[in-house]
Amino acid sequence: MKAAVLIAPFDIRIEEVDKPKIGSKEVLVRPMATAICGTDVHMYNGSLKVKLPLIMGHETAGDVVEVGKDVRRVKVGDRVVIYPIIFCGACHICNMGRVYLCPNGGLMGREVDGAYAEYVSVSEHLLYELPENVSYKEGAIVELLWTVFHGHTRIKISPGDSVAVLGLGASGLLHVALAKISGADPVIAISRSEWKLNLAKKFGADTIICAREFDPVQGVLEATDGLGADVVVESVGATQTFLQSMKLVKPGGTILQFGICTQPINNYNAYPIYFKEINIIGTRAMSPSEFEPMIKLVASKRIDVKPLITHEFPIEKIKDGLELVDKRPGEVLRAIITY
């Protein structure tokens, strides 16, 4: 079969590789659309070290083309979304129901070969039905919404709460949409990008703040009668915006740290956490149990993910897609690989 194989950093090639063989409880899926994730880009540029060669890709939707003899949940011809997190199902963390934190697990397309290929083998329990009225391309965005939805299950947004979203990449825009559906008012969107701010309005933002022109702290205070936001979603993953979020949140409020911040914070002063009694909540990946309510939001069109698809590339041009996201990320929300 044809696959995009990462040989070394910045060296990805379309090669002929063996078609995966499936076990009795496994399924062969033909990917139809796969989104380029930040994790893929970090592996591509070498900032995330992985065992090479590797077939990346994990945000995918496709068709079931073959099933093992003991498979019962799906059948040939089913349209599916893949839950890409690998977990043992037997450890203390898995038994708590938090399989996405399994210390023995991993990620499809990182620890094992993924979906940038004609076929991928997947355990039956990792597949979820993609409704007929949701396209494969929309299905490829579902995992991102899934992680955003999981973040919102970790906090509480009540009708009338003020919510500020720092950073308006694809995930930030989905945070805006979910906050609005939860009844937040106002929803405040903050970005340095004018076109993303304009898009945030379509996703439900009541107030937009261009961080290049206005002080976000002052803007949030003005929008919340001087109190600060009940909830701040940090969706950038930078030390500066993490520290800024503590200024944006009101006393007794909550910060959802959604952005992945890998840098140490020098001269960090934790005093505001004490003085304002701030709740800082971490979030990672998503739970299988959250798929059904999340996919209903897409199928019912309460959340339209299509505007997040800003670029498409055939798999033969995957290097162009990875280069775009790596070198000019501000131009992209989500790039989709098609087959």
DSSP 273-304: HHHTT-EEEE--S--GGGHHHHHHHHHTTSS-
Residue 153 designated active-site? no
Contacts of residue 338, defined as CB under 8 A and 6 or more positions apart, other chains included, come to 32, 33, 137, 312, 313, 314, 315
pLDDT of res. 266: 87
pLDDT of res. 69: 97
Whole-angstrom distance, CA of residue 124 vs CA of residue 131 = 18
CATH number for the segment(s) 2-147+286-338: 3.90.180.10
pLDDT of res. 233: 98
What is the model's pTM?
A: 0.96
Q: Domain residues of the chain, as ranges? A: 2-147+286-338, 155-282
pLDDT in tens, 125-147: 999 999 999 999 999 999 999 99
pLDDT of res. 35: 98
| Active-site pick, 42, 125, 153, 338 | 42
CATH number for the segment(s) 155-282: 3.40.50.720
At 326, which helix (H) or strand (E)? helix 318-327
Residue 39 designated active-site? yes
pLDDT of res. 199: 98
| Active-site pick, 39, 60, 147, 207 | 39
pLDDT of res. 222: 97
pLDDT in tens, 186-240: 999 999 999 999 999 999 999 999 999 999 999 999 999 999 999 999 999 999 9
pLDDT of res. 49: 96
Same-fold call for 2-147+286-338 versus 155-282: no
CA-based radius of gyration for the chain: 20
For the chain, percent of residues with pLDDT exceeding 70: 100
pLDDT in tens, 82-97: 999 999 999 999 999 9
pLDDT in tens, 9-24: 999 999 999 999 999 9
Whole-angstrom distance, CA of residue 94 vs CA of residue 41 = 28
pLDDT in tens, 233-267: 999 999 999 999 999 999 999 999 999 998 898 88
